Chains A and B, each alone.
Chain A
Amino acid sequence: MESLDLPLIWAGMICFSVFAYVVLDGFDLGVGILSPVLAPGQERDQAINSIAPFWDGNETWLVMGGGGLLAVFPLAYAIILPATYPLMIAMLLGLVFRGAAFEFRWRDPAHQPLWDLVITVGSTVAALAQGITIGAILQGIEVENNAYAGGWLDWLSPFSVLTGIAVVIGYALLGATWLIRKTEGGCQRHAHRLAYRFGIATVAALIAVSLATPFLNHEYWRRWFEMPQVLLTAQVPLLVVLCTGVFFWSLRKGHELLPFLMALALFLLGFVGLCISIFPHMIPPSITLWEAAAPRDSQLFLLVGAVFIIPVILAYTGWAYWVFRGKVGTEGYH
């Protein structure tokens, strides 16, 4: 027990939480982002019905991530949140708005167009804020004496705006491929066209971010391009090329599940790339994950509960997706 590198284990768990959130909430935010281009009425109802059973369960991973960060990396929590203050507030408000709009959409049919607009705006704002936050962390945060030392707009830069837009596009791709899987008829054909376009846009965004990242600071350059680890890091772009190929092939062949899986794989590769860039830091350029970690006692105490409960939650989530498998239809799950 003494030999366990708890901060590393917890960093892995937080990464898992964040990635689970991105994977799960990504597609339903994506459907929200896409909703204005879907025809009102049947097409849009189908799309929003397809995420209705899942969106709120997906969102809980965000609470897990935040709660976990406070408990085991309090320093990171205390620096990142003030550093990205307006983004965090915007994201939270976007999610609150969107969650409420989901509920009222069906209960208040008279104002459905308004609620749909709220869903779109809330989803887009939340996605954009998350993407810009990733960029802000990558480009580094100014820290003095274990506290954030910058202004309240330091996060804003061309690079962070780029990552913000990239995440919005990527979520839209996840949303489109999800719709291919879950809908039929006109809605599916429309989703198919959207997936093709957003597939191209996502790959372009991924390339742009990947090209820009090593120029942010020399550390990243070294981590990616020095021998011998270049042999390892080079696998990431190679896999991206492979997944992209499979993605477009499966779209053309009319597969229903494979495009969604490939879109997830692209996200996973982007996420791995992000981790390669940052590791071993928690907050580039100055604070490593061991420096940000809470004392051992705190980490161990929460680990006991997490190890027991997270598998249960995963099992339940899987079961829920199983129950609601198959096509959605226009009526939704009643």
Chain B
Amino acid sequence: MFEHLDAVFLARVQFAFTVSFHFIFPAFSIGLASYLMVLEGLWLKTGRGVYANLYRYWLKIFAVGFGMGVVSGIVLSYQFGTNWSEFSHKAGPVIGPLMGYEVITAFFLEAGFLGVMLFGINKVGKRLHFFATCMVALGTVVSAFWILSVNSWMQTPTGFEINDQGQFIVGDSWWDVIFNPSFPYRLVHTVTAAYLTTAFAVGGVGAWHLLRDRNNIGARKMFSMAMWMAVIVTPVQIFVGDLHGLNTLEHQPAKVLAMEGDFDPSPDGAPLILFGIPDEDAATVHYKVAIPKLGSLILKHDPNAPLPGLTDFPREDWPPVAVVFWSFRVMVAIGFAMLALGGWSLIARRRKRLYASRALHRAAVCMGPAGFVAVIAGWVTTEVGRQPFTVYGLMRTVESASPLDAPAVAASLIAFIVVYTAVFGMGIYYLLRLMGHPPSPGESEPDKVPFHAAGITPASSLAPASSGQGGNAHGKS
């Protein structure tokens, strides 16, 4: 283990740590922003107070989560330069402008519409407020668009040329860079994942409160909405994930073979390995439990189609097999657990026991954090599977790092771990505390915190309860 503790390995760990920590928050924000849009839209359409209350309830949580996303994002915008300067220099001309657009988008959103959203409906009127909510939801997706375009380009680079300094520069058009082959699949798969993550988090919170008070209107409503999402979106996500896998097989076969644990080529149909212990040195999977032919059936849609093995590729181009193998299985297992919970909720709904089945509620509470685990497992799969390259097939990770000494990187890594644990630990604790309060008809108590003008970490800007918010909740402002 310790012979690997060089500056590059430490920088990789640091990036993995900071990006995973960061991604928790945007994954939640993307889904929650859209959920808030739906809630406000339903409220304006039906005039039912329950939607307004849920909107306010989740808005407070959204504000805190969004803020933590931005704060942890600042770190990432500098991390490319501090730890990956060679990569920044060589790939900057291509990915820099795309990331620039991401920053501009996020900035535009924070500076404008989030502030309006948090100023409260009384100050700006219903229409403008709803418009702001829609723009924030759109903005989170646009931000995801740019950053995933960058990530996809690193996985499946197209539309570039290489100049005399060895830099990647844009070729004929930016279009070819932005819409590289894996981008559409990755974008849909990731945004859908964010929606599911939020759905299960909302469902978990709803179930938690149903276990305490079965008749809480807000809790019932959010639980019901979340379970509909689970039923409808999970199968879609599994389907999209399969397509994404086929796309990856086409462009990054070594990654898929590591995910599958296929060291040896299978000329007449590959099995699907359910479990086993991958051993890179021996190039085999120990104790494996496999279903014959199913691997080829999934990946080639033909049980007898031949599949290559990792041994067809040079050893130095293998990703770390065990990590990819396991993270992929964690993600898939959670996907099917989500499918199961969705099915269970559908049966309960049919039997009119959706709000009564305590076992279902307990399961939903347990599945509350599942989405977060799944998205991080998914990121580990795709990012570690990209190794040993930063720009797939063209630029190696070892050639991408900054000229730093291991002690410097180790010190900063320890500092990040300590600070993040303290700061975001507090933040997550606070989020959980917000979620621990049951949604109530008078969902308008403001925290005693000042307004923010540009809401990166805005306080919930709800007018005091005495100012007729209650009336507002019933659709007459």
Contacts and interface: CB of A to CB of B under 8 A. Distances in A.
| Chain B interface size range | 35 or more
Interface stretch (A178-186, A193-201, A309-317): A309-317
Interface residues of A, number: 68
B277 interface: no
B427 A100 contact: yes
A309 B457 CA distance: 22
A73 B408 CA distance: 25
Contacts of B2: none
A54 B89 contact: no
9 tightest Cβ-Cβ pairs between the two chains A and B? A74-B92, A57-B454, A81-B81, A71-B96, A56-B456, A320-B453, A332-B450, A78-B89, A78-B85
B96 A72 contact: yes
Contact of B82 (A81, A97, A302, A309): A81
A56 B408 contact: no
B111 A103 contact: no
B96 A70 contact: yes
Contacts of A333: 450-451
A113 interface: no
B450 A316 contact: no
8 contacts: A64-B103, A67-B77, A85-B402, A103-B457, A107-B430, A147-B85, A147-B86, A148-B402
Interface of B: 64, 67, 70-75, 77-78, 80-82, 85-86, 88-89, 91-94, 96-97, 99-104, 106-108, 110-112, 115, 163, 165, 167, 169-170, 174, 402-405, 408, 411-412, 415-416, 419-420, 423-424, 426-427, 430, 446-459, 464
Contact of B426 (A52, A54, A104, A294): A104
Contacts of B427: 100, 103
Nearest to B461: A334
A295 B427 CA distance: 41
Given A72-B96, A88-B78, A53 B423 contact: no
Contacts of B447: 106-107
A103 B67 contact: yes
Contacts of B81: 66, 69-70, 77-78, 80-82, 88
A100 B420 CA distance: 10
Contacts of B85: 77-79, 81-82, 147-148
A146 interface: yes
Contacts of B455: 56
- Give the most central of A62, A77, A103, A151: most B CB within 10 Å: A103
Contacts of A93: 415-416, 419
Contacts, number: 246
Contact of B70 (A56, A78, A107, A302): A56
A324 B86 CA distance: 44
B456 A60 contact: yes
A334 B447 CA distance: 9
A297 B403 CA distance: 28
A67 B103 contact: yes
A119 interface: no
Interface in A280-334: 294-295, 297-298, 301-302, 305-306, 309, 312-313, 316-317, 320-321, 323-324, 332-334
B453 A321 contact: yes
A270 to B, nearest CB: 24
A85 B165 contact: no
A103 B170 contact: no
Given A100-B423, A294-B96, A298-B169, A54 B453 contact: yes
Given A57-B454, A106-B449, A312 B415 contact: no
Contacts of A147: 85-86, 89, 403
B391 to A, nearest CB: 14
Given A57-B454, A74-B96, A77-B88, A66 B78 contact: yes
A68 interface: yes
A49 interface: yes
B426 A100 contact: yes
B13 to A, nearest CB: 15
B96 A298 contact: yes
A70 B104 contact: no
A135 to B, nearest CB: 18
Nearest to B454: A57
A71 B71 contact: no
A152 interface: yes
A312 B71 CA distance: 23
Given A302-B97, A316-B111, A89 B169 contact: no
- Give the most central of A89, A99, A107: most B CB within 10 Å: A89
B89 A74 contact: yes
Contact of B169 (A297, A323, A334): A297
Contacts of B74: 59, 62-63, 92, 95-96
Given A56-B452, A71-B97, A63 B71 contact: no
A69 B100 CA distance: 9
A102 interface: yes
Contact of B100 (A53, A54, A71): A71
- Give the most central of B426, B450, B452: most A CB within 10 Å: B450
A309 B404 contact: no
A292 to B, nearest CB: 10
A95 to B, nearest CB: 7
B453 A309 contact: no
B73 A63 contact: yes
